[in-house]
Amino acid sequence: MSQSECIFCRIVRGEIPCAKLYETGTVLAFLDIAPVRPGHALVIPKAHHATILDLDPGLGADLVTAFRTVGAALMAATGATGFNLGLNCNASAGQLVFHAHWHLIPRVEGDGLHLWPSGAYASMDEMNALAESIRARIA
């Protein structure tokens, strides 16, 4: 999708309204229009990058500052005692908008939301072999 059609680029340019929370020269945060919980926010780099795999690593500090600032404020405003920070990378992981973005979802104890079901490896050997395979691709 071109940057002229990207819905988040259009929000950055002010062509589509948003419930803005935070803005710097490089980062924008606003409320998700279809929240998991009220206060569910999105943090996006202003520059168009389809997925995190395309993102400039130099944006890291600006993004972490946004996560901390917006996360603390949305907890204070909603009475949440925590939040989840998540990103969907590619369609198989549920990414719908191909302009990299992070979800901040406010949480309270016992709210019943189970975002991370746990599984198991058949053996430690299987786990270690997979770790070795991943390490080889990082090197």
Contacting positions for ligand AMP (CB under 6 A): 7, 16, 18, 32-34, 42, 88, 94-97
Beta bridge partners of 86: 103
Interior/surface letters 12-40, b for 16+ CB within 10 angstroms, e for the rest = beeeeebeebeeeebbbbbbbeeebbebb
Element (H, E) at 82: strand 82-86
Check: CB of residue 12 under 8 Å from CB of residue 27: no
CB atoms within 10 A of CB 119: 4
CB-count burial class (<10 Å; 0-12, 13-18, 19+) for 95:
middle
Q: Which is nearer to ligand AMP, 75 or 100 (CB)?
A: 100
Residues serving a catalytic function are 101
Q: Output the smallest distance, CB 96 to ligand AMP, in A.
A: 4
Q: Which is nearer to ligand AMP, 18 or 43 (CB)?
A: 18
Q: Output the smallest distance, CB 10 to ligand AMP, in A.
A: 8
User: Nearest Cα to 99, choosing from 20, 42, 21, 57?
Assistant: 42
Q: Which is nearer to ligand AMP, 44 or 80 (CB)?
A: 44
Q: Which is nearer to ligand AMP, 1 or 134 (CB)?
A: 1
